[in-house]
Structure 1
Amino acid sequence: MPQIQKADPAALMAALQAEGRRRFGQLLTGIEAYRRHPARRDLADMPVLWDQGTTKLRDYRTPKSGPVDPRRPRLLVIPSLVNRYYVLDLEKDGSFLRWLGANGFDPFVVDWDGPGYVERSFSLTDYIAGRLEQALDAVKREPGGPIFILGYCMGGDLALALALRRQADIAGLVCLATPWDFHAENAAHAQMMGQVGRQLEPVLQILEELPVDMLQAFFSGLDPFQVLKKFQYFGTLDPASPSARRFVALEDWLNDGISLAAPVARECLSSWYGENTPGNLQWRIDGKVVDPAGLDRPVLNVIPSADRIVPPGSARGLSKRLRVVDEIVPNAGHIGMMVGRAAMPAVWQPLAAWIEGIVAK
């Protein structure tokens, strides 16, 4: 076995410092290019069908002439509480919601906003048994076909809990990158995140919410090198390219997050991540365990294979608990599955076909 030559410590240190400066320079170049980029999202907000407090239900139905098709599915789309809904309506040519409206569906999306005076005391029970049930009632009052609930990321957990409470009113459920077993792939990391959540208790008591900047720091901890890599990549793009415009649109969305009410922050960080209450069947809404096995409606579970926010094992833990489930495993990441170049053929179209198949039965 050849002997490994000993490196000169001084030379090695100099090389490491030079490489560090080079990468840091790439990072700063990318950030400055992002800040200077002129692209801005220019899509108008869709009409509000229903609202209460800081929660709105936006109507993405495509205007139609003639009578309403009684078999045209109505879709209640529920995003995460910590991100704005418009990642699903990011660009004119890259809008999941507008695509649905133009392809045989009547979509309605929940537009969460930061907690107001009333919502600062909200738990997940208040959001699910209160706001989401009322949003579902608003969709029910509109003419159309069977109702499906779609949930993205944390919104998938909310959607599941709502579906269990209102099974008689829905035809099916779609879960998109939905975490369930928080200890499936890296229990130690999740428990560390839960401990971080507990350390934030003084902030929660004083502010009655978890500020969005702290939330962003929390999620950055799930993939600490992602910020470095993405801005290094952006610095190499032609500013006039579609890829650069899409990057700016997504980064603007990421920086437009939503604070969490203190009780919800405790449930999600300390209980979900720290104690894995959903995966252990200990998560309760209105006093009742949220048990996927109790759902007798068909479910489509979409599990992106390259997801670093919701590891595939976490999402697949939900499939193991469900009685009637189909899976799609697109080769995509957590956000790319909904807005990436391959989102339409990999996710949108198979999702639409699945719903149409349920309706046709």
Structure 2
Amino acid sequence: MVREALAQDAALLAGIAAYRRHPWRRTLADPPAVWAEGSSRLLDYGGTGPVLFFVPSLVNRAHILDLAEDASFLRFLAAHGAHPLLLDWGWPGAIERQFTLTDYVAGRLERALEAVAGPVVLVGYCMGGLLALAAALRAPERIRALALLATPWDFHAEDEEAARSLATSLPILEPLMAATGTVPIDALQTLFATLDPFGVTAKYRAFAALDPASPRAVRFVALEDWLNDGVPLAAPVARETLGGWYGENATAQGAWRIAGLPVNPAAITCPTLIATPARDRLVPPASAAALATVVPHATVIAPKAGHIGMIAGMSAPQALWQPFGEWVAGL
């Protein structure tokens, strides 16, 4: 067992070293912005067909949806009969550090939607799915259809103890939040690493065995660069999400509110797609699938991929991009 442990440690260190010296760098330019407010921009990927308005998470860079030329969900859709827009939340400045979830949804997201002509297909990814859900309930006349990709709902569905443990970190984070107005990137990454504590070491050991020039190795580096380039979370939002979502399961309990009104997915009336990736370790499939039990007549797909792999992994075109495009075409 000692030899095995030493061999694993050697592979882990080799994988980390190989990642650090890999030459790949993201050079893909952003498309033009058609709207901006504060640190946020609405990026227009062009194309013809239905407008798809993408809402990403607040804690990661939006370009996971546009990672590279050969790993861009949005450019794929633009080339296959749709017109994607991406709301890039940006880095929280002095104003955004004071934002609550209500400020993000009933303020910035709604104003971005108002800048777009006609009803849109609103697409939320991860945390962004909850923001999109709330926006769809508040302004149904602006929403043609709704897609919720790897979106949590029942935060206590599979591991209540792990979810509650994230909430217990809030008192420890308070000094950081008082000093910076945010939960800094390093603290966020440490917190969410506890949801899959062995995943980080396993992936670097596997990377050590890859040919650095192979497409799989290049994609690994692209995804790791994105993961390591996070965004701080505004302190009021951190308290709402860690305490309310993870600690109290406010979403599934019917206690989550935006601008004083409950976020009730049972009130959704537009066509809805729910994607619950089968190998998701950040949003357990049961947590995301809980939405399908309350959203009326939802179409549910279970891509054979993980939380990030579904969006930008090697199998993403087959796992999500093509099925999603077919759903949009059928609206």
Equivalent runs, 1:58-207 vs 2, <5 Å:
58-62=43-47, 72-140=49-117, 146-207=119-180
Provide structure 1 residue ranges, at least 5 long, that are not aligned to the other structure: 1-14, 63-68
**In 1, Cα distance between equivalents of 2:181 and 2:149:** 29
SS state at 1:128 partner: helix
Q: Is 2:3 aligned against 1:24?
A: no
SS state at 2:115 partner: helix
Indicate the residue corresponding to 2:240 in structure 1. 267
Q: CA deviation at 1:146?
A: 4.5
Q: CA deviation at 1:155?
A: 0.5
SS state at 2:155 partner: coil
Indicate the residue corresponding to 2:183 in structure 1. 210
Q: Contact 1:297–1:324 at 8 Å: present in 2 too?
A: no
Q: CA deviation at 1:206?
A: 2.2
Q: CA deviation at 1:52?
A: 0.6
Percent sequence identity is 52
Q: Is 2:301 aligned against 1:333?
A: no
Among candidates 302, 305, 308, match of residue 275 of structure 2? 302
SS state at 1:341 partner: coil
Indicate the residue corresponding to 1:4 in structure 2. none
Indicate the residue corresponding to 2:196 in structure 1. 223
Deviations 1:285-305 (A, max 9, x none): 000010001111111000001
Q: Is 2:287 aligned against 1:314?
A: yes
Q: Contact 2:119–2:141 at 8 Å: present in 1 too?
A: no
- The amino acid that maps onto 2:6 is R
Q: Is 2:212 aligned against 1:239?
A: yes
Calculate the TM-score normalised by the size of structure 2. Answer: 0.97
**Runs of 4+ more than 4 Å apart:** none
**In 2, Cα distance between equivalents of 1:115 and 1:105:** 30
Indicate the residue corresponding to 2:29 in structure 1. 44
The Cα RMSD (Å) is 1.2
**In 1, Cα distance between equivalents of 2:9 and 2:292:** 42
Deviations 1:7-50 (A, max 9, x none): xxxxxxxx43x333222211111111001100111211111111
**In 2, Cα distance between equivalents of 1:73 and 1:223:** 37
Q: Contact 1:37–1:239 at 8 Å: present in 2 too?
A: yes
Q: CA deviation at 1:321?
A: 1.3
Q: CA deviation at 1:77?
A: 0.2
Q: CA deviation at 1:344?
A: 1.2
Calculate the TM-score normalised by the size of structure 1. Answer: 0.90
SS state at 2:116 partner: helix
Count of matched residue pairs = 331
**In 1, Cα distance between equivalents of 2:10 and 2:197:** 18
**In 2, Cα distance between equivalents of 1:19 and 1:76:** 49
Work out which of the two has the higher radius of gyration on C-alpha atoms and give 1 or 2: 1
Among candidates 251, 257, 261, match of residue 284 of structure 1? 257
